[in-house]
Structure formats: C-alpha cells, structure tokens
Amino acid sequence: DLLMQVEGKPKCCFFKFSSKIQYNKVVKAQLWIYLRPVKTPTTVFVQILRLIKPMKDGTRYTGIRSLKLDMNPGPGIWQSIDVKTVLQNWLKQPESNLGIEIKALDENGHDLAVTFPRPGEDGL
C-alpha cells in the first residue's frame, strides 16, 4: 500500500502466518524492537499501532501498546512488548492482519526504532 510507505520503504511491519499456526493456542507473544543509541539522556515514547482498514473519519490504525522509556547515552537497547492479544486476534481473523507500525520518538521527534537500517548502519 503506497499510503503506508515513506521514501519508497514500508513504514509498517507486516507479519504473515501459516495456516498451520492458526489453530494453535497462543501462550506468549513478545515483539522485540531495537532502539538506536542516544548521545544525551532522553525520554522515548514507544508506540505500537495496529493498521486497520480506513474508517469514515480517516483513521488507519489503533493503538496496541505505548511505553515511556528513559534512555541514557551508551549502546542501543532491546525492548520487548507483549503482543499476545494482537496475535490471538490475527489468528482468529487473519483478514484483519494489515500489519503494525512501530514508532519510538525521542524528545526531539527522532525515531529511534530500527525497522530498516540507515545508510552506513548495520542490519540487526
């Protein structure tokens, strides 16, 4: 979907599940995201948004989780987020799986979540 792209790259993460997994019971589901290192202490607001079919008011997503993290200078960090309910719903209604959008904005609006490596940046 071109509306879900920035500079030709997807701004969402799409997960496709095999039909074999659809009938399994979900006990635990964690999404791990990597946050880039920061140079000064900062607060990071992490949002995981589930993409939905556009509503009449133009809304294209609904919130799954929001976190407020304090980060200090040093290496980047891994952050886990519980997505058990989202996964259960996707398995019950696979057609509702339009993907998720991951945002991790610092106080200056810089996105620290690594979903695609930047030029000169190693992939995960």
Q: Profile the chain (124 residues) by mean pLDDT over runs of 10 residues.
A: 51 67 82 92 93 78 88 92 87 80 91 78 60
**Encoded amino acid at 84, one letter:** K
Domain total of the chain: 1
In a domain, 24, yes or no: no
In a domain, 59, yes or no: yes
Helix (H) / strand (E) containing 45 = strand 42-51
In a domain, 43, yes or no: yes
In a domain, 13, yes or no: no
Looking at residue 69, what is its pLDDT?
A: 94
Q: By residue range, what is the domain housing residue 110?
A: 29-114
Looking at residue 2, what is its pLDDT?
A: 42
In a domain, 7, yes or no: no
DSSP state of 52: -
In a domain, 20, yes or no: no
In a domain, 52, yes or no: yes
Looking at residue 73, what is its pLDDT?
A: 95
Helix (H) / strand (E) containing 105 = strand 100-105
Looking at residue 21, what is its pLDDT?
A: 74
Looking at residue 61, what is its pLDDT?
A: 78
In a domain, 16, yes or no: no
Task: Report the alpha-carbon distance of residue 122 to residue 99 in Å, rounded.
Answer: 24
Looking at residue 92, what is its pLDDT?
A: 83
